[in-house]
């Protein structure tokens, strides 16, 4: 019987939860449920970033795809937690703090993935600095947000 393999998006989200469990920490709040629109957004953002890197030159899928997927997953989860915080009208300081902590962790994961992607690409593109490549990636996300193609993840 062929069992359907989980998507990369699902694998990455499970890995985040496993890391927290392995460290002896429970997830700060229940992970928001991912909807089809989130999966569609994941695919669209990954595809757009891959196209951008291909246009910039020296795109290497074996390295770049993993970092792109990690960055986009963290971006989507940060947005989901931010939406959850806005929607719950939480009044307990502990609940607000736990959701804010989750947003902060995913924001850090997003920045780290972009930093790693920039560092790896910098080695391949010696003529550009890491800051320039990071700036290009951040500018790309800002352009997507301005065009309304993604929801702003952070307030």
* Neighbouring C-alpha atoms within 13 Å toward the C-beta of 122: 15
Of all residues in the chain, the percent with pLDDT exceeding 70 is 66
Please report whether residue 70 resides in a domain.
yes
pTM attached to this predicted model: 0.62
| 36 or 140, greater pLDDT | 36
Give yes or no for residue 144 having a pLDDT over 90.
Answer: no
Please report whether residue 61 resides in a domain.
yes
Confidence of residue 154 (pLDDT cuts 50, 70, 90): very low
Mean pLDDT of 71-99: 77
Q: Which domain holds residue 84?
A: 35-146
3-state secondary structure 35-101: CHHHHHHHHHHHHHHHHHHHHHCCCCHHHHHHHHHHHHHHHHHHHHHHHHHHHHCCCCHHHHHHHHH
Please report whether residue 99 resides in a domain.
yes
User: Rounded mean pLDDT of the chain?
Assistant: 76
Please report whether residue 14 resides in a domain.
no
Please report whether residue 155 resides in a domain.
no
Please report whether residue 42 resides in a domain.
yes
Please report whether residue 51 resides in a domain.
yes
Looking at the structure of the chain, the number of domains it has is 1
Give pLDDT, residue 23: 55
Please report whether residue 41 resides in a domain.
yes
| 112 or 133, greater pLDDT | 112
Q: What is the pLDDT of residues 81-94, one digit of tens each?
A: 888 777 666 566 66
């Amino acid at each position: 019987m062929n069992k359907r393999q989980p998507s990369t998006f699902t694998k990455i989200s499970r890995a985040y939860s496993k890391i927290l469990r392995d460290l002896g920490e429970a997830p700060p709040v229940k992970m928001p449920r991912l909807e089809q629109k989130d999966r569609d957004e994941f695919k669209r953002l990954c595809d757009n970033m891959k196209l951008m890197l291909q246009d910039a030159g020296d795109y290497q899928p074996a390295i770049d795809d993993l970092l792109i997927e990690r960055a986009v997953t963290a971006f989507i989860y940060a947005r989901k937690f931010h939406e959850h915080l806005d929607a719950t009208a939480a009044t307990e300081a502990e609940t607000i703090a736990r959701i804010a902590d989750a947003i902060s962790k995913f924001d850090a994961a997003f920045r780290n993935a972009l930093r790693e992607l920039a560092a790896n690409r910098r080695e391949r593109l010696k003529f550009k600095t890491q800051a320039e490549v990071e700036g290009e990636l951040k500018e790309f996300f800002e352009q997507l947000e301005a065009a309304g193609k993604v929801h702003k993840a952070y307030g």
